[in-house]
Structure 1
């Protein structure tokens, strides 16, 4: 059984990894606190502009050789890296749970999924190429050639840092790019350890750098002249700033931003099963801290009461607690500031009368940044509770009367990241999936996010793709060659 003490023993002694070694920070000191008990476990300096400059310089130096590496050699190395991640999955997961409070079992699953992303893109590394264009046979030979973009600035959030890193690093490396990764200043250690493990497994120095810094480090990274592309996952206001920085230098940018996804439960499914799974997905999973989680629940009026009973029953069985304890089903939110913010949202919704409080809502006594799973029923779809991303364990439930209303409600926010629907009618499943303004739709289950499938948002949820062949192409540029014969 892995414990918090085991995780602390694994802690890197720095918040950055540059070249082939951990690197001390030059910015402000930060006290790192375990969110389950409020106790500190490290105090280290964050990365500053000097570390960003050094990591970009190391990446630029490494890129020519990495780009020139034989595709088969890059393939074999990435397969080896996938194996390394699997071998050290519990170690990396323990650091994730220490940093941000995710139950260890879920953290392990996330790290194992990260290994799958590396293995998937290893398989693409020796299959990247252009096409012959049928322009004018016998008089013209027209073809395309693809090449890596160069040095990628990748910025990830704290709510699952190892899998978040894999979504960007694996395809970028497979395509022949180098990466400077900036994790959140709240959770830098698991990605620093990841970079060290990959270096020990043969990844050349400078190909992957990690700079665990705050907003100043992020601003320096996205504005750096040595960066050729940006891939960002995070909130909308920060995403807008990144987009502006990319636009100033005409850089390509993948932006995976916020969400307020809806789960639509029709009247032809088992309301007990659908309600239970909707509660787990929208409230319990990662304590509601996920951009693609369905934090709105839309239920056909004829099934409404039964689904609410199932939701309340599922939430009532949740075991809040120590992320390292075997029986814990839901951990804390990332820190005390997040807990205070989420409770503020709950209190404001109660004061405004956005909906009826069904379960939860009160503060959890004791140490740690715990927020009880909270469900509001009869939520006004125009209210802030139904419109704004909370990033916490708060579910907003609303009834609908027909399919058209369900689709209108689901599409009735500025976001368009994911959609979920529950129905036994195959025709309806395809029809509603096509009508949802979302880049990802899950039918009768949870979001799988397999590495072979594309994932990305519409509207205010961003643009660009992670996953699949589309995600690989984000890290490539195309050149056309037109030869007169």
Structure 2
């Protein structure tokens, strides 16, 4: 692994690097080799106090600027991020060994900041007449003040893009808590905020484990929490936030259905299903299309193309730009995923068609698991119902549209759904009946700043992106001026 890149490891509070902390330290392991590559400082309750206090000071400084100045500073930040895209992409690789060929969330960060910079000086309120009066009635949208953004290890820059950008545009300061498993790209982003001229403390970055994260969520100075992660952790976040009745937005897991109808372009559908399923981030994505539902008439033909597409992906060093498939995040994750595969085989949940084992040879020291595909999977099995968060995909037959919809919706999750068809009428009809926050027709899950993103059911509540995402970071005030 290259050591030429500087790996940030200290907290960033009020524009200063903090290396001594009450939260202790975490030895960061690079998943591709199983070797330590950094010692990360973790924030404890004392550091969270400092970060929140600093953020409030920065919020007041931010709001003392005119809207055009705030807009211009956000544009400057987008420019600085653009100038450091390669560095941020490499830090993403060092964080969790996502292949550099897929480390494009740095570009996403620039897009979101540039997009939401344009909202800083746009109208945030409305006015309305009122019954029986000629009073002036104003409906304003104001910032919360200081918000907490808690990112998962598999998407610190993506969540920084979709949450920090609208939070700043709305007028808030942010305490950004990345996972201790992947803190480095987020820490560098915090430094870039300072380099771009944002007030120190406007974006504090405080990696922490469970104890520090709970201290942040429970902090009375936090006015709103945006959490991205698993539903088990989300329950703990909600309990902690309840201490101060702090509102929470939660973007959680998924067990997304990828529905392939008989009229689909099967070559395209197979390639996209391979990417969106076991290959992208080694299946470690809330957007993973881990259930591929295929019409019986084309099941065998699609399966042949799909297996070939999965098998063709190059596996290896994530820093190699020709590699598309890397390791999972940790030894514990590898053991858990192999347990899921073993249970599925033992329970005869489906036929194991590809993969299923840990990769040895030169990759043995890392946490590599073969891309794994099960065919003819029972949709009520644990394999089909439980989020695996690894490179494991179930392929399921259906006979008609009604059965496809029943199977697709038969899950406690509802973050994404995917549909492959050339029939525009069917695409519209099916999309409206799928229980998911985002439906992608003949394409991948490509999150943009213009579109809201979030889940149905156990996949969470609230949205990032679009005007809905901006409004998540604003509270509504009604002002009525008597006119006699």
DSSP-derived class of the 2:80 partner: helix
DSSP-derived class of the 1:181 partner: strand
> Mind listing any 5+ residue stretches in structure 2 that lack a counterpart?
none
CA distance in 2, matches of 1:72, 1:361: 55
CA distance in 1, matches of 2:198, 2:476: 26
1:242 aligns with 2:240: no
Matches within 5 A, 1:457-476: 457-476=455-474
RMSD value over aligned CA atoms? 1.3
Give deviations 1:274-324, integer Å, cap 9, x for gaps. 122111111101111110121110000001001110111011111111011
1:180 aligns with 2:178: no
Partner of 2:110: 115
Q: Is the Cα contact below 8 Å between 2:96 and 2:153 reproduced in 1?
A: yes
Partner of residue 265 from structure 2, selected from 267, 270, 289:
270
Partner of 1:412: 410
Partner of 2:330: 335
Give 1:145 shift.
1.3
Of stretches 28-37 and 356-365 in structure 1, the one that deviates more from structure 2 is: 28-37
Give 1:357 shift.
0.3
Give 1:326 shift.
2.2
Q: Is the Cα contact below 8 Å between 2:108 and 2:158 reproduced in 1?
A: yes
Q: Is the Cα contact below 8 Å between 2:145 and 2:172 reproduced in 1?
A: yes
Matches within 5 A, 1:46-57: 46-57=42-53
Partner of residue 69 from structure 1, selected from 65, 69, 79:
65
DSSP-derived class of the 1:203 partner: coil
Partner of 2:142: 147
CA distance in 1, matches of 2:193, 2:215: 25
Q: Is the Cα contact below 8 Å between 1:22 and 1:192 reproduced in 2?
A: no
CA distance in 2, matches of 1:450, 1:12: 28
Q: Is the Cα contact below 8 Å between 1:333 and 1:392 reproduced in 2?
A: yes
Q: Is the Cα contact below 8 Å between 2:40 and 2:180 reproduced in 1?
A: no
Give deviations 1:4-31, integer Å, cap 9, x for gaps. 223xx311141x1000111113323321
Give 1:155 shift.
0.3
CA distance in 2, matches of 1:262, 1:125: 37
Give deviations 1:349-381, integer Å, cap 9, x for gaps. 111111100100012112101111000001000
Partner of residue 12 from structure 2, selected from 17, 20, 37:
17
TM (normalized to structure 2)? 0.97
1:124 aligns with 2:122: no
Give 1:248 shift.
3.2
DSSP-derived class of the 2:476 partner: strand
CA distance in 1, matches of 2:358, 2:287: 25
> Mind listing any 5+ residue stretches in structure 1 that lack a counterpart?
none
Give 1:93 shift.
1.1
Partner of residue 75 from structure 2, selected from 60, 74, 79:
79
DSSP-derived class of the 2:276 partner: helix
DSSP-derived class of the 1:4 partner: coil
Partner of 2:39: 43
Partner of 1:440: 438
Matches within 5 A, 1:340-379: 340-365=335-360, 366-379=364-377
Give 1:34 shift.
1.1
Runs of 4+ in 1 over 4 A off after TM superposition: none
Partner of 1:304: 299
Q: Is the Cα contact below 8 Å between 2:9 and 2:183 reproduced in 1?
A: no
Count of matched residue pairs: 479
